[in-house]
Structure 1
């Protein structure tokens, strides 16, 4: 089975394959299957296909992301870094066990029973994790006010975002 030829029409802003189109627009220009695949792959990432020289399809220059998009990316990076730092302190399972231990300690305190073993370590991990979360929120507030120029090479791992206080 042979594959039909692929054409692009600037007037219609689309592709035509001779396997499925008997008639082509007057301005249709032939392109290779490889070029067609490249254009569609780029379009799937948000690029626009526009007519170029002699009606051949080309990709429009990539539009720089706006400040809100840059801020969202920076905040996502901060969140990922906070998660990485928290999980370096305690895995999710360890955090869950610490939460249970802290709840047991509260119950023990309310009933006059002895605190469970390991409470000091659990509370220390909780304090460290809370400090990381607080640092994340402070850094996210800074990012929310940053101009685009400061966000283009944003480094969420920079120590200045993760200091306590």
Structure 2
């Protein structure tokens, strides 16, 4: 039986990362590549997950990356993440991405994402993680809504398993 560890505050897992958006980071519209933003999101979320459990982690899922506004060349991109909820061996991490026009100071929320990480022991097996204690109104809101997101993840994972089983039995020429 896996026992969950004591509780930690959500703020203890908070991580912030900022960078300037340079020409190699952008597409033909001079906005940041979505894939690069997604890599930044996974990176900072992993840092938050490891800060929370102080163990190695793996990404189990990304619910979605919702791109709300473009991030322009010359802007700074700032990512902020923290653990919003935990189960026995897994952690949900929320990431928000903000762009700032460094010449005007105007800031804009550009993306949000929820990711799930699993903590691993020395034998690469899932291991218990501490509970998370929300303190701010944002943390509490995300904590309270987390069980419904977790249920949606479980349902999506079951659907994907069925698809994988079905598709693995078909040959490329069987259409």
TM-score range (shorter-chain normalised) is under 0.3
When normalised by structure 1's length, the TM-score is 0.27
When normalised by structure 2's length, the TM-score is 0.25
Larger radius of gyration: 1
Structure showing the higher helix proportion among its residues:
1
Structure showing the higher strand proportion among its residues:
2
Q: Which has the higher contact order (CA 8 A, sep 6+)?
A: 2
